[in-house]
Amino acid sequence: MTPTRILLIGATGQVGWELQRCVQALGTVIPAGRQQSHRVDLTDPDSVRTLVQATQPTIILNAAAYTAVDKAETEAELAYAVNAQAPGILAEEAQRLGALLVHYSTDYVFNGQQCHPYTEDVPTQPLGVYGSSKLAGEQAIQAVGGQYLIFRTAWVYGRRGHNFLLTMQRLARERDELRIVNDQVGAPTWSRVIAEVTAMILAQLYSPFSRLEMPEMSGIYHLTCAGETTWYHFASAILAQGERQPRLVPITTKDYPTPAQRPAYSVLSCAKLQETFGVNLPSWDQALALCLAN
Ligand SMILES: NC(=O)c1ccc[n+]([C@@H]2O[C@H](COP(=O)([O-])OP(=O)(O)OC[C@H]3O[C@@H](n4cnc5c(N)ncnc54)[C@H](OP(=O)(O)O)[C@@H]3O)[C@@H](O)[C@H]2O)c1
Instruction: List, as one string, the DSSP characters of 87-135.
Output: HHHHHHHHHHHT-EEEEEEEGGGS-S--SSPBPTTSPP--SSHHHHHHH
Residue ID of nearest Cα to ligand 1 atom 5: 154
The pLDDT score that the predictor gives to residue 242 is 86
The pLDDT score that the predictor gives to residue 209 is 82
Q: Is the C-beta atom of 27 inside 6 A of ligand 1?
A: no
First CA to last CA distance, the chain: 37
Please, which residues bridge with residue 38 across strands? 32
Q: If you measure from the C-alpha of residue 63 to the centroid of ligand 1, how many angstroms do you get, rounded to a whole number?
A: 6
Q: Is the C-beta atom of 40 inside 6 A of ligand 1?
A: yes
The lowest-confidence range among 2-6, 107-111, 238-242, 273-277 is 2-6
Cβ–Cβ < 8 Å for 281, 193: yes
pLDDT at 1 over 80: no
Measured from the CA of 103, which atom of ligand 1 is nearest? 45
Q: Is the C-beta atom of 153 inside 6 A of ligand 1?
A: yes
For a pocket test of ligand 1, which of 80, 102, 156 has the largest count of ligand atoms closer than 8 A to its C-beta? 156
Measured from the CA of 194, which atom of ligand 1 is nearest? 10
Q: If you measure from the C-alpha of residue 260 to the centroid of ligand 1, how many angstroms do you get, rounded to a whole number?
A: 18
Give the C-alpha separation, 184 to 119, whole Å.
18
Give the C-alpha separation, 29 to 19, whole Å.
10
Q: Hey, what CATH topology would domain 5-229+255-293 get?
A: Rossmann fold (3.40.50)
pLDDT at 36 over 90: no
The pLDDT score that the predictor gives to residue 215 is 86
Give the C-alpha separation, 286 to 251, whole Å.
25
pLDDT at 138 over 90: yes
pTM, two decimal places: 0.97
> Which pLDDT band, with edges at 50, 70 and 90, does 212 fall under?
confident
For a pocket test of ligand 1, which of 7, 8, 21, 34 has the largest count of ligand atoms closer than 8 A to its C-beta? 34
CB atoms within 10 A of CB 142: 16
> Which pLDDT band, with edges at 50, 70 and 90, does 2 fall under?
low
Average pLDDT over residues 147-173: 96
pLDDT cut 70: percent of the chain above it: 99
Domain ranges of the chain: 5-229+255-293
Q: Is the C-beta atom of 165 inside 6 A of ligand 1?
A: no
The pLDDT score that the predictor gives to residue 208 is 82
The pLDDT score that the predictor gives to residue 220 is 98
